[in-house]
Structure 1
């Protein structure tokens, strides 16, 4: 009787463990970790994607900043306007 309950409990726990492993994709992660080529390719693609994203993001933010600075220059604020005008001229020439 005790042996039957123990087997039933063990079986239930194994099913729960199997469900949790499948739910969290542990099997796929272990498969990827075992293959060095997949790790290299995945990290290479991730690095390229991050680099492209950083480049695009920096370009957009720089363009927005230059537009804002140009608007400030048109307000003709004496000290700040001259300083920003010099910065915008330097950026546009390069």
Structure 2
């Protein structure tokens, strides 16, 4: 009988040691993923709204700047192609550049 108790105790200790190692691993992973900061942020909705508002404004400004740069580059390339006086393409490019310039001046066409 005492051998069974010793074996049961040894098995229980091994099981608890394995459980302890697993819990330590889970705790380490949770710390690594900063889940505590995320839960804290979710408990403060004003802070969450403020961060989302700032990120939305930054994203919008970035898109506006990027699109402006892209459009200016395209117009620059089109003006260069229009100056080459290519037979068919030149007329289309000139029309596009003219329409864009009219829109930028705020006039209707």
Superposed pair shares fold, TM > 0.5:
yes
* 1:44-55 correspondence to structure 2 within 5 Å: 44-55=53-64
How many residue pairs match? The answer is 94
Residue 65 (1) aligns with residue 74 (2)? yes
Q: Could you tell me which runs of 5 or more consecutive residues in structure 1 were left unpaired when the two chains were aligned.
A: none
Give me the whole-angstrom Cα distance separating, in 1, the residues matched to 2:29 and 2:22.
11
Q: Could you say which residue in structure 2 is the equivalent of 1:26?
A: 35
Q: Indicate the structure (1 or 2) with the bigger Cα radius of gyration.
A: 2
1:67-86 Cα deviation digits (max 9, x unpaired):
11001111101222122112
Q: Could you tell me which runs of 5 or more consecutive residues in structure 2 were left unpaired when the two chains were aligned.
A: 1-9, 105-109
1:23-79 Cα deviation digits (max 9, x unpaired):
111111111112211210111011001100110010000000001100111110122
Q: TM-score, normalized by length of structure 2?
A: 0.79
Give me the whole-angstrom Cα distance separating, in 1, the residues matched to 2:39 and 2:15.
30
Give me the whole-angstrom Cα distance separating, in 2, the residues matched to 1:67 and 1:28.
47
Give me the whole-angstrom Cα distance separating, in 2, the residues matched to 1:14 and 1:49.
40
RMSD across aligned C-alpha pairs, in angstroms?
1.3
Q: Could you say which residue in structure 1 is the equivalent of 2:44?
A: 35
Q: Could you say which residue in structure 2 is the equivalent of 1:15?
A: 24
Question: Relative to total residues, which structure has the larger helix share, 1 or 2?
Answer: 1
Please identify, of 47-56 and 27-36, the stretch whose mean Cα deviation from structure 2 is larger.
27-36
